[in-house]
Chain A
Amino acid sequence: MEVITANTKKPLTVVGIVVLALFAAFPLFLGQYWLHTAIVGLFYVMMASSWNLLAGYTGQVSFAHAAFAGVGAYTSGILAAKAGLPPLLGLPIGIAVAAVLGLALGSLCIRMGGIYLSLTTLGFSEILRIIVTNEYEITRGTMGLKTPPLFGEYSKTVSFYVLLAAALLILWLIRRILNSDLGASFRAVQNDETAAASLGIPVVRVRILAFVIAGAMAGFAGSLYGHYLMLITPHILSLDLMFLVLAMTVIGGMGTFIGPIVGALFLETLSEYIRVYGEYHILIFGLVALAVARFAPQGLVGLWRQFRSAV
Chain B
Amino acid sequence: MDMMRRWLDLLAGDPQADRAVPPTGFTARLTVLSAFAMAFLAVFALALSLATGRLADRWSSELAKTSTLRISAPVGQVDAQRDAALAVLQTTPGVASARALTDDEQRALLAPWFGPDLPIETLPVPQLIEIIEDDAGFDVAGLRARLQAEVPGAVLDDHTRWRAPLVEAASRLRLLGIVSMILIAGATAAMITLAANAALAANAQVIRVMRLVGAQDIYIARAFIRRFTLRALTGAAAGTLAGTLAILLLPRTDVAGGFLTGLGFQGWHWLWPLIIPILAAVVAFAATRHAALRTLKEQS
Q: Say whether A and B bind each other.
A: no
Residue ranges of A at the interface with B (Cβ–Cβ < 8 Å): none
Residue ranges of B at the interface with A (Cβ–Cβ < 8 Å): none
